[in-house]
A and B are shown apart, each in its own frame.
Chain A
Amino acid sequence: AQSVTQLGSHVSVSEGALVLLRCNYSSSVPPYLFWYVQYPNQGLQLLLKYTSAATLVKGINGFEAEFKKSETSFHLTKPSAHMSDAAEYFCAVSDWNTGNQFYFGTGTSLTVIP
């Protein structure tokens, strides 16, 4: 079965600083990888997705992620944090064989300090 590991359940950054949220996956076949964001009391929204095209994926709100097969990683970054980025972020993976089923990480809560 697939699994996703998100290092750091809580990350704090200062406003304007770099955001780096880590995600590592386990997959024996090329996976589909996704980042979702969840604001308080809301459902999850898709930030970006990797589906075997370009390894650097750009998403909404200035976020991007890079697929690194050698490191089995898909870390999420944003050059300059904004107060509105404070939320819970989830990495998810599916693969060619089970593309209709996602496996989610346990989430990383991002706090932005003014």
Chain B
Amino acid sequence: NAGVTQTPKFRILKIGQSMTLQCTQDMNHNYMYWYRQDPGMGLKLIYYSVGAGITDKGEVPNGYNVSRSTTEDFPLRLELAAPSQTSVYFCASSYGAGASNYGYTFGSGTRLTVV
């Protein structure tokens, strides 16, 4: 019963470094999402994907990139890390959209600190 798996759970980056946050789901969900959570700010959508090979920007995409080569995987790439990217990152997936929207399944999060 893995659901959505995120790695790593914690990471400290230096300014200017790059890294990839991994996200894998085993529920055959077409829709996948990346959110960041900052204290008192709720969750903000970074990127999302409606299927393999299709990605689109969310509310706060600057400084990030994504790819979706398979249904299962949706990695988030940070290039040239900045302190403003210190946050908790959540990956989520869903079965469908519109009338078939059953809500998201979330991963347990990646806590990233940029120093």
Contacts and interface: CB of A to CB of B under 8 A. Distances in A.
Given A49-B103, A51-B101, A94-B101, A100 B94 contact: yes
A99 B101 contact: yes
Contacts of A106: 40-42
Which of B33, B41, B96, B106 has the most chain A CB atoms closer than 10 A to its own CB? B106
Given A100-B50, A101-B48, A101-B58, A43 B98 contact: no
Interface in B88-115: 90, 92, 94, 96-99, 101-109
Q: Indicate the size class of the contact surface on chain B.
A: 20 to 34
Contacts of B103: 34, 36, 46, 49
Interface in A22-62: 32, 34, 36, 41-46, 49, 51
Interface residues of A, number: 23
Interface of B: 4, 31, 33, 35, 40-45, 48, 50, 58, 90, 92, 94, 96-99, 101-109
B71 to A, nearest CB: 15
A65 B3 CA distance: 26
A43 B4 CA distance: 10
A99 B100 CA distance: 9
